[in-house]
Structure 1
Amino acid sequence: MSEELNDIVVHNYTVGDRVSGKVTKVEEKQVIVAITDSKLDGIIPISELSSLHIEKAEDVVSEGEELDLQVIKVEEDALVLSKRKVDAEKAWESLEERFNSGEIFDAEVKDVVKGGLVVDLGVRGFVPASLVEAHYVEDFSDYKGKTISFKIVELEKDKNRLILSHKAVVEEQKSKQKQNVLESLQEGQTLQGVVQRITDFGAFVDLGGIDGLVHISQLSHEHITKPSDVVQEGQEVNVKILSVDRNNDRISLSIKDTLPGPWANIAEKAEKGSILEGTVKRIVSYGAFVEVFPGVEGLVHISQIAHKHIGTPHEVLKEGQTVQVKVLDVNEEEQRLSLNIKDLTEKEQEEDEVYELPEESKGFQLGDMIGEQLKKLKQQ
């Protein structure tokens, strides 16, 4: 082909034209292609192979591969071509569709850079560090080469700006899971959960996507001053659902209701006739309530407190006092316990009690003594 004819052929192409070509040679910093339906060769500089920075051309293309390309420069005997521009044009169309529909898609993380991750979607997609996970991540080095799910959160084609988020995917999945769990919960159910967070007023338990609150009053049958006395973060617990407020995503739970009550098997722990130690918890006009086991109080009726007559239990007892009690009766079903204190104390001698003569002195009469004296005189 003459130089004149070659010039005519070359100059039939202008910048922006789309062509196809077959890779004939892959060099370190450029790729040579044979342009389809032409005797011309094309050159693709390494910078025009991908939207991302690459070190070697062979990382992107290989010999024999068919490529769609765009003319970016017309030289005397060859065309300078771009694969990157064609890929970007195709990509923007599908990316706009994904952005508008909110589609979730998988992509490989090509690089980890300062401030986030880089993804190749035909154009360079950037994932800011704050949008990688729903939790804080200190080191992103393990993400390189990893395929994860993304949503497009910002797209500006004219500025070549594409922002992706994996965090949005995670939060959306959590929201769906939370809703599914919330719909499945019913009052009265007993489930297993994990203590997620402890506060002054109770503990939040994860039920598999949604948290419920166990108020401090529902943690134990015993009185407690702080939740951490009975539960720890990460602990697996059984909980009973007390109420479900789907409008406000609030779930009330109880651990206490899944535990044996303080009155369970009380007939075995406090057998009739047994002697126990307890603490006076409350004093009322008709007696005193004594706690013999945590959460178990029995009544010592006023008549069972002391041997002597008392007008009020306060005469001999005070709240907080430790006392020995005898079990008179126990009713587990009605949660009633009757106790006695006086049988375990010595009976005091009453001041007005009449002194009794010894047995041998009983029946002694004055006449008997006079008769004895008369007998003695006769004998004399």
Structure 2
Amino acid sequence: MSENNVNENAQTMADALNSVETVHIGDTVKGEVLAVEDKQLIVGIEGTGVEGVVPLKELSTQPIDDIRSVAKVGDEIDLVVISTIGKDKENGQYLLSKRRLEAQKVWKEIQAKFDAGETITAPVTSVVKGGLVVNAGVRGFVPASMVEDHFVEDLNQYKGQELEFKIIEIEPSDNRLILSHRAIVEASKAEARKEIFSKLQAGDIVEGKVARLTNFGAFVDLGGVDGLVHVSEIAFDHVDKPSDVLKVGQDVKVKVLAVDEDRDRISLSIKATLPQPWDNIESEAPAGAVLDGTVRRLTSFGAFVEVFPGVEGLVHISQISHEHIATPQDVLKEGQEIKVKVLSVDPDAHRLALSIKALEEAPEGAQQENNSQPRNNNRGGDRPKRNNRREERTSIPAEYQQDDSGFSLGDMLGDALKDFGKDDK
């Protein structure tokens, strides 16, 4: 071989060596797939003359079941150099990643959305202690306190769901992405609240869904805003606990009692949408009818007995027993089941006069006493006794002279008024 040929070959080798690029950790390179193995790819790094390895977990930000479904021999892939393998850098291999290169792009996109105040949508992949893990192209974490605007006991219900999130904190260098779904829920409810409060008025009949149950009532979702149905507004009959008659998720019709936007409160009633208990009272409780009832309240002048849900009648003290009793509490107690006879009914005034003694046979002594009681037409000798009777008649406390049930003083005195004034004739 001539000297010229030797020099030319040497120059060619030198040029080839000079053309080989040096590979550095963190470089973005292009690799050609040379072999596909079960858990990795073997690639040739373009322009370097060296090979690299791409492990299965470094192929994509998404889970991969079959490596051959995402790569084949001859494919060219953009990769980032993670580290070296072996001490011989010239002939050694490099650890490469496609996933981290994709993640870099994702971090830039998320950062741009964070800066612009935009939200992201991502699926929940798992539930861990303290919150949720989501796949936003990179791993995101949602603390339990940022899942909803109320406490959630079981977070497993969110697994597999795709939710919208607000970006709370982002730090790509630490692979830290904190997200909040609660912020989305609160913003949505705030918008819905504004719209609902602008339209809702007292007296409206609307439909809603039971959202929560407490001991004092039920919260009903009206489409983004919760209103409260107090336990006393659930039904006309007595309700001990809302959970006895309602369940979460139940559709209900409610009447708006009051709207207070400043205090963010809406008062609702279910029973106001139900048939009124006094509507057919004349046919259900005509004079002379015998009904089953429950003693609800005892006062000094009588007992209020519930005969239908939401319908109470008064058994005046004079109608409790043929025998003299000092107070209704002497013979009755609240919650007691009794039978009563209807004396009179006034549906317009919501008044029902009832009697217990009308269903009992009067003792012989009481009948004789009533039949033998003389009428006193003498204005002189019996004046002190008549004054005593008048004093007894007017001894009902003032607060009971117009009870909140609608019964007047005359209703409460009952039979005691029948003979009033006869002695003066």
TM-score, shorter chain, exceeding 0.5:
yes
Q: 1:121 to 1:228 in 2, by over 3 A?
A: closer
Do residues 29 (structure 1) and 43 (structure 2) align? Answer: no
- Please give the alpha-carbon distance, in whole angstroms, between the structure 2 residues aligned to 1:72 and 1:277: 86
* Alpha-carbon shift at residue 149 of structure 1 (Å): 3.8
CA contact (8 A) 1:326 1:341 kept: no
Look up the SS of the partner of 2:43 in the other structure. Answer: strand
One-letter identity of the residue aligned with 2:153: Y
- Please give the alpha-carbon distance, in whole angstroms, between the structure 2 residues aligned to 1:271 and 1:120: 71
Match of 1:98 among 107, 113, 122: 113
Backbone CA RMSD of aligned residues: 4.7
Match of 2:98 among 77, 83, 87: 83
Look up the SS of the partner of 1:7 in the other structure. Answer: helix
One-letter identity of the residue aligned with 1:212: G
One-letter identity of the residue aligned with 1:252: S
Do residues 220 (structure 1) and 229 (structure 2) align? Answer: no
Tell me which residue corresponds to 1:201.
216
* Alpha-carbon shift at residue 69 of structure 1 (Å): 3.5
Tell me which residue corresponds to 2:15.
5
Structure number with bigger Rg? 1
- Please give the alpha-carbon distance, in whole angstroms, between the structure 2 residues aligned to 1:229 and 1:193: 17
For residues 319-377 of structure 1, the C-alpha deviation after alignment (integer angstroms, 9 at most, x for no partner) is 255685453x4332232345678987665330669xxxxxxxxxxxxxxxxxxxxxxxx
Aligned length: 336
Match of 1:270 among 285, 296, 303: 285
* Alpha-carbon shift at residue 8 of structure 1 (Å): 0.9
TM-score with structure 2 setting the length: 0.60
- Percent of residue pairs identical: 35
Q: 1:269 to 1:43 in 2, by over 3 A?
A: same
- Please give the alpha-carbon distance, in whole angstroms, between the structure 2 residues aligned to 1:110 and 1:292: 57
Look up the SS of the partner of 1:99 in the other structure. Answer: helix
Q: 1:136 to 1:172 in 2, by over 3 A?
A: farther
The gaps in structure 2 that reach 5 residues or longer are 1-8, 333-337, 376-425
Do residues 136 (structure 1) and 158 (structure 2) align? Answer: no
- Please give the alpha-carbon distance, in whole angstroms, between the structure 1 residues aligned to 2:128 and 2:339: 73
CA contact (8 A) 2:211 2:218 kept: yes
The gaps in structure 1 that reach 5 residues or longer are 308-313, 354-380
Tell me which residue corresponds to 1:296.
312
Tell me which residue corresponds to 2:140.
126
Tell me which residue corresponds to 1:231.
245
* Alpha-carbon shift at residue 191 of structure 1 (Å): 3.1
One-letter identity of the residue aligned with 2:174: K
CA contact (8 A) 1:202 1:213 kept: yes
CA contact (8 A) 2:22 2:48 kept: no
* Alpha-carbon shift at residue 157 of structure 1 (Å): 2.7
Tell me which residue corresponds to 1:331.
346
- Please give the alpha-carbon distance, in whole angstroms, between the structure 2 residues aligned to 1:136 and 1:68: 44
Q: 1:68 to 1:215 in 2, by over 3 A?
A: same
